[in-house]
Structure 1
Amino acid sequence: MTHADTVIDPALEDGAPVSVERGATVSAPAPRKRFGLRIVFVAVLTALLAGAIGQFALFAHTIATAKVPSSANADAIVVLTGGHARVSEAVRLLEEGRANRLLISGVHPGTTREQLAAVTASAMPLEKASVDLDRVALNTAGNAAETAAWVKKNGFGSLLVVTSAYHLPRAEAELSGALPDVDLIAYPVFSKDLKLESWYQEPATMRLLMREYVKYILARLRITVKGAR
């Protein structure tokens, strides 16, 4: 090897000459690169986790502070089944004249109008002239599809949406996707057994809200993808 083949490595103390064959390169130590990548990965993961926790906390706070609208009047009412309190509240709104027609979506095939009237303590027998029963929907997406068909058939321009407070964000997302030109008025129903005001101190309530939050995010993603096609 000639003197021209000798390369001085500036990273070495005292600048001691190191013989390197022509065309060879000196690379940085691999362990140092891997350590740096791990730091970046942990930082990104921490940021994503903090963002997810923040979004969930905002979701829970929105539900806990939801208010019943002061002016709850519309062309029609839809209630998404899932508890007697929901249906009872929707029937009460109908009896008060907040709308002229009611759809109870997601009714079990074996449930009769008389049974519904009994469990809601309704003063009216849920007559066909004012109350329609949807026995097809099996989930919130199905509720939205059946409600959309009902609304379009009757030409309603505004809709009072009655369901549990924790279920309202997902219900509104599904209904907004199915009825983009209809004015939706959210009407939350609060369960006495669900302590939403202190959800962060109630493990059962927190678990319920976390499940609902995941379902809400998945529903929004599905609706967005569907709308982009």
Structure 2
Amino acid sequence: MTIFAPTTDSHEQQAPPAARRRRRRVGVMSIVMLAFVALCGYLVGGFLRFTEEVNLLAKPAAFAAADGIVVLTGGAWRIDHAIDLLKEGRGRRLLISGVNPDTSVDALARLTDTDRKWFDCCVDIDYAAQNTVGNAEIAGRWAREQGFRDLILVTSDYHMPRSLIEFDRVGNIRSVTPYAVRRDDLWRGDEMPSAPGLRVLASEYVKLVAARFLSTVGIVAKQSVSTRVADLAE
């Protein structure tokens, strides 16, 4: 007589329906929990890498001059550093992108303690860009009109990684050299962020992850350039 051992499937079929449903729920929950832990690990590791990258960007090495300089408004001392680069001859012209429409050229000259002649000869002001995507769009248009292929990009250290992603979309720009402006109040010593710095870095990291996702799927943020003001002021 041949005796067949019961299989797992037969045990499953013999189990009460409630027990089978319970086992399935446990299996699904285990998979969800493993996926959640893996996602958390990925995000935490990514945030640590992002923090290290920001810290390194704030210590720029020597770099060559470029065709033009682009500075993104919104952070302390960005414009001052960009104007210093212009005065040093690192670029032929400077674009200040994302300026509040109520801010005049004279006001910018006063705020940066810069002779108005520099603005008259070598500075263009963009009042149209509303976000980082818009900054990149306007900078690409400006570079094309000026015949520029190589740019120096000036923005805050924590903002630089996301800015480089958006500028990478612009096809007519050959190279972008980052010049990151460090906010000392966001760091404790040379390596560790302060408590306010952690909040700023965490917020910017979330935006960076979103920008990378949108870049991967080929989606560009909407309303990146104002429809009310769309010209560069000289």
**Aligned-pair distance for 1:179?**
3.5
The question of whether the paired residues in 1 share the 8 Å contact of 2:72 and 2:98 is answered with yes
Picking from 219, 226, 229, the partner of 2:218 is: 226
**Aligned-pair distance for 1:192?**
2.5
Unaligned runs of 5+ in 2: 8-12, 221-234
* Corresponding residue for residue 53 of structure 2: 62
Distance 1:179 1:86, change over 3 A: farther
**Aligned-pair distance for 1:226?**
2.4
Segment drifting more, 28-37 vs 85-94: 28-37
TM-score by length of 1: 0.82
Aligned residue identity for 1:89 = H
Alignment partners' CA distance in 2, 1:112 and 1:122? 14
* Corresponding residue for residue 3 of structure 1: none
* Corresponding residue for residue 85 of structure 2: 93
* Corresponding residue for residue 198 of structure 1: 192
Alignment partners' CA distance in 2, 1:96 and 1:170? 27
The question of whether the paired residues in 2 share the 8 Å contact of 1:84 and 1:120 is answered with no
The question of whether the paired residues in 2 share the 8 Å contact of 1:76 and 1:158 is answered with yes
**Aligned-pair distance for 1:102?**
0.3
Alignment partners' CA distance in 1, 2:46 and 2:159? 17
Alignment partners' CA distance in 2, 1:116 and 1:69? 28
**Aligned-pair distance for 1:36?**
3.0
Q: Is the counterpart of residue 126 in structure 1 residue 115 in structure 2?
A: no
1:79-116 Cα distance to aligned partner (Å, 9 max, x none): 00013400000000001111110000011112122211
Structure number with bigger Rg: 1
* Corresponding residue for residue 47 of structure 1: 38
Distance 1:84 1:122, change over 3 A: farther
Q: Is the counterpart of residue 207 in structure 1 residue 195 in structure 2?
A: no
Aligned residue identity for 1:120 = T
The question of whether the paired residues in 2 share the 8 Å contact of 1:106 and 1:138 is answered with yes
* Corresponding residue for residue 232 of structure 2: none
**Aligned-pair distance for 1:154?**
0.9
* Corresponding residue for residue 176 of structure 1: 168
**Cα RMSD after superposing both structures:** 2.4
Alignment partners' CA distance in 2, 1:203 and 1:141? 28
The question of whether the paired residues in 2 share the 8 Å contact of 1:80 and 1:143 is answered with yes
The question of whether the paired residues in 2 share the 8 Å contact of 1:168 and 1:186 is answered with yes
Fraction of identical pairs, as percent: 36
TM-score by length of 2: 0.80
Alignment partners' CA distance in 2, 1:74 and 1:161? 10
Alignment partners' CA distance in 2, 1:37 and 1:27? 18
Alignment partners' CA distance in 2, 1:158 and 1:121? 27
Q: Which has the higher contact order (CA 8 A, sep 6+)?
A: 2
Alignment partners' CA distance in 2, 1:226 and 1:32? 41
Alignment partners' CA distance in 2, 1:204 and 1:95? 33
Picking from 155, 159, 162, the partner of 1:163 is: 155
The question of whether the paired residues in 2 share the 8 Å contact of 1:117 and 1:125 is answered with no
The question of whether the paired residues in 1 share the 8 Å contact of 2:95 and 2:125 is answered with yes
Alignment partners' CA distance in 1, 2:62 and 2:54? 17
**Aligned-pair distance for 1:44?**
2.1
Alignment partners' CA distance in 1, 2:29 and 2:103? 58
